Amino acid sequence: MGSASLYLASGISFLDEEGAVFQGMLDGWAMQQRGGRNLKAKSVAAGLARVRDFHRFTGEWPWKWTTGDFDEWMMHLVSVKRLAPSTIRTYQHPIRMFCKYLCSAHYGWVEECLNRFGTHPVQVCHEWNSVAHLQEYEGRPGRRPLTRKEVQMLLDRADGVVEDCLAARRKGALPAYRDATLLKVLYAWGLRISEAVSLDVTDFYANAHAPELGRYGMLQVRNGKSSAGGAPKRRSVVSLLPWAVEAVEDYVENVWPGVRAGQSNALWLSERGTRMRSRELQDRFAALRDELGLDGELSPHPLRHSYVTHMIEDGLDPAFVQQQVGHAYQSTTAIYTAVSSDYANKLMRQALNRTLGTVEATGGML
Q: What is the pLDDT along the chain (366 residues), one digit of tens a residue?
A: 557 666 665 656 677 899 999 999 999 999 999 887 888 888 899 999 999 999 999 999 999 999 999 999 999 999 999 888 878 989 999 999 999 999 999 999 999 999 999 999 999 998 888 765 434 444 555 568 899 999 999 999 999 999 999 998 888 899 999 999 999 999 999 999 999 999 999 999 999 999 999 999 999 999 877 765 566 788 999 999 999 999 999 999 999 988 887 888 999 998 888 899 999 999 999 999 999 999 988 899 999 999 999 988 888 888 888 889 888 766 666 655 665 556 555 655 665 566 566 545 545 444
Please give the Cα distance from 5 to 102 (Å, whole number). 13
- Map out the domains of the chain with their CATH numbers: 4-117 (1.10.150), 148-304 (1.10.443.10)
For the question of residue 225 being annotated catalytic, the response is yes
For the question of residue 304 being annotated catalytic, the response is yes
Q: Minimal CA–CA distance to 244: which of 278, 219, 280? A: 219
221 sits in which H/E element:
strand 218-224
For the question of residue 107 being annotated catalytic, the response is no
Contacts of residue 362, defined as CB under 8 A and 6 or more positions apart, other chains included, come to none
From 225, 233, 260, 275, the catalytic residue: 225
For the question of residue 140 being annotated catalytic, the response is no
From 116, 120, 284, 304, the catalytic residue: 304
Q: What is the pLDDT of residue 366?
A: 42
For the question of residue 177 being annotated catalytic, the response is no
From 64, 277, 301, 343, the catalytic residue: 301
Q: What is the pLDDT of residue 365?
A: 43
Q: Would the pTM count as exceeding 0.75? A: no
For 68, 82, 96, 215, 239, the CA distances from 93, given in Å and listed in that order, are: 17, 18, 5, 45, 39
From 120, 192, 284, 289, the catalytic residue: 192
Please give the Cα distance from 101 to 115 (Å, whole number). 18
3-state secondary structure of 174: helix
Question: What type of residue is 352?
Answer: L
Query: Degrees (nearest 5) of the Cα angle 296, 300, 303?
Result: 105
Q: What is the pLDDT of residue 142?
A: 55
From 7, 187, 216, 336, the catalytic residue: 336
Q: Where would I find the H helices in the chain? A: 17-31, 41-58, 67-75, 85-103, 109-117, 148-168, 173-188, 193-197, 242-254, 256-259, 278-292, 302-313, 318-325, 330-336, 341-361
Please give the Cα distance from 154 to 160 (Å, whole number). 10
Q: Are 304 and 325 in contact (CB under 8 A)?
A: yes
Please give the Cα distance from 215 to 245 (Å, whole number). 9
For the question of residue 251 being annotated catalytic, the response is no
From 116, 184, 289, 327, the catalytic residue: 327
Q: What is the pLDDT of residue 134?
A: 37
